[in-house]
Structure 1
Amino acid sequence: MAIDLDEQDGQTPLDPDELAGLIPTHVLTKGDLNDWEQENILRAVQWARRQRKVDVLSEAFCRDLHKKMFDQTWSWAGTFRKSDKNIGCDWTQVSVKLRDLFDNARWWVENETFAPDEIAARFHRDLVWVHPFPNGNGRHSRMMADALLRTMGEAPFSWGGGGTLVKADNARSNYLAALRAADAGDYSLLLAFVRSTA
């Protein structure tokens, strides 16, 4: 039976091979998938909070976190994408672009190039742009930014109080508008959004 995935603005479509990696057999709609993924992600949040003395700015942590977030949902969880998407770098460049991003973020932190919130917001936006995985990149990059904040001794972002930011609502619309402004070099909306509650 085919799953009905009617994609929303800002979501990356899955190709047939990626869809074939769906693990639960009871999922038939996008709502079912969102609910199932959210349960998986809640376990990953707990795992991420328990990580101590881990290099958040590493490919290993990046992959491990994605795998923990989606290992009950997608057989390819934690595996970089193998096709181009409607967003992101060329799929063959994912590892290179990630290494560059991790090096940049490490420099920002070590040299206090920006305030911690701006470092994490810029890191988040750049990780979304790399788009390393077939799916779940927005949620993954938000958790990566929060993990980076914890390593700097800062509280995680509130992300507009929008929960998962998966459903089409005002929080998601504001988030996408803030990301698009950051894509154009204006981080003011994103910096306001990440600490807002509504």
Structure 2
Amino acid sequence: MGEDTIKNIHYLVMKGIDKEFAGRYRLNNVVISGSKHVPLSYIQVTSEMEKMLAWYDDVKEKLHPIELAALFHFKFVYIHPFRDGNGRTARLLMNLILMQHGYSPAIVKEVIE
């Protein structure tokens, strides 16, 4: 898993919705509608993504694949690196990790209250 994979998946998810920003880290601060979590400043996105990918490389052979996929998903959405499409991209990346280890994809429904 690397930055190119993440950006390519985001591009594929978003190219028909917001092609200008598809596959590109956000260049502004964002809020998540309906959430109390305030994502990191856009200034921190690149360095936090680098840290997350270094973490992934360090633990990918040590953690159980299900735990790895879940933690990767959590860390990704916490950083919220893109302007839009973070949840969709996170779920695809989580399933990529699961499938690389022989597991079936997990179906996670979004809950909007």
Contact kept? 2:77, 2:86, Cα under 8 Å: yes
Question: For 1:1-198, what aligned pairs fall within 5 Å after superposition?
Answer: 57-74=1-18, 75-86=20-31, 87-110=38-61, 112=62, 114-159=63-108, 162=109, 165=110, 172=111
CA distance in 2, matches of 1:152, 1:104: 18
Identity of aligned residues (%): 25
Structure of higher CA gyration radius: 1
CA distance in 2, matches of 1:135, 1:155: 26
Deviation at 1:121, TM superposition (A): 0.5
Deviation at 1:76, TM superposition (A): 1.2
CA distance in 1, matches of 2:104, 2:58: 21
**TM-score, normalised by the number of residues in structure 1:** 0.50
**Unpaired stretches in structure 1, ≥5 consecutive residues:** 1-56, 166-171, 177-198
Deviation at 1:154, TM superposition (A): 2.0
Structure 1 segments (4+ residues) deviating >2 Å: none
**TM-score, normalised by the number of residues in structure 2:** 0.84
Contact kept? 2:56, 2:72, Cα under 8 Å: yes
The letter of the residue matching 1:103 is A
Deviation at 1:149, TM superposition (A): 1.4
The letter of the residue matching 1:130 is I
Deviation at 1:102, TM superposition (A): 1.2
CA distance in 2, matches of 1:151, 1:82: 31
CA distance in 2, matches of 1:103, 1:154: 23
The residue that corresponds to 2:35 in the other structure is none
Deviation at 1:77, TM superposition (A): 0.8
Contact kept? 2:65, 2:97, Cα under 8 Å: no
Does 85-94 or 118-127 show the bigger shift? 85-94
